[in-house]
C-alpha cells in the first residue's frame, strides 16, 4: 500500500510539472481532467498488478505453507511427561492453524484490492477513451 501511495505522489508531481511546463497553451479544465483521469487510471492499474502479485503469492502460501516453529523446543535431556508433550503438540497445531488462517485472510485482502481497483480503472479508462473519440 505504501508503494501505491509513493507511486501516486510521484505521478502527481510529474503531472503537475507537465502542466506547469505547458506555458504557451492555455490551461483548461479538460487538460486538468485528462491528467486526473490518467493518474487515477495508472494508480488503479498499479493496484491491480500489485493485488494480483500478492494474490498469487498468498495462494501459494495457502497451498504450500511454511510452518515456523515459534514454540520453545523440547529439551531432549529432560524427561517430559505425557501432559507436557501433549501441550507442546497442541501448541504446534494451534500455530499451524493460525498461520493457515492468516494466509487465507491475506488472500482475501489481496483479492479485495483487485476488486476495488478493477472497476476504478475500468471507469476512468472508459472516460479517457470516450473523450478521445469525442475529440476526433
Global confidence as pTM: 0.69
Phi, psi of 117 (to 5 degrees): -75, -30
Indicate if the pLDDT at residue 124 is higher than 90.
yes
Tell me if 74 is assigned to some domain. Answer: no
- Greater model confidence, 18 or 111: 111
Tell me if 76 is assigned to some domain. Answer: no
- Greater model confidence, 46 or 78: 46
In terms of Cα–Cα distance, which of 38, 55, 47, 49 is closest to 117?
A: 47
**Is the distance from CB of 11 to CB of 43 less than 8 angstroms?**
yes
**Is the distance from CB of 92 to CB of 69 less than 8 angstroms?**
yes
pLDDT tens-digit map of 14-65: 766 666 666 555 557 677 788 889 888 988 999 999 999 999 999 998 998 8
Number of domains in the chain: 1
pLDDT at 115: 95
Q: Which domain range does residue 34 map to? A: 2-22+29-66+86-135
Burial of 136 (0-12, 13-18, 19+ CB in 10 A): exposed
Tell me if 79 is assigned to some domain. Answer: no
Amino acid at each position: 500500500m505504501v508503494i501505491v501511495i509513493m507511486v501516486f505522489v510521484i505521478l502527481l508531481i510529474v503531472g503537475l510539472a507537465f502542466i506547469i511546463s505547458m506555458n504557451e497553451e492555455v490551461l483548461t479544465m479538460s487538460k486538468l481532467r485528462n491528467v486526473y483521469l490518467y493518474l487515477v487510471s495508472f494508480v488503479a492499474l498499479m493496484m491491480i498488478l500489485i493485488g494480483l502479485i500478492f494474490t498469487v503469492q498468498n495462494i501459494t502460501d495457502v497451498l504450500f505453507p511454511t510452518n515456523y516453529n515459534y514454540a520453545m523446543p523440547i529439551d531432549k535431556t529432560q524427561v517430559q511427561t505425557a501432559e507436557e508433550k501433549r501441550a507442546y503438540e497442541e501448541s504446534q497445531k494451534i500455530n499451524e492453524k493460525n498461520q493457515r488462517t492468516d494466509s487465507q485472510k491475506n488472500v482475501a485482502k489481496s483479492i479485495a484490492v483487485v476488486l476495488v481497483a478493477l472497476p476504478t480503472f475500468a471507469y476512468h479508462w472508459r472516460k479517457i477513451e470516450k473523450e478521445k473519440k469525442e475529440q476526433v
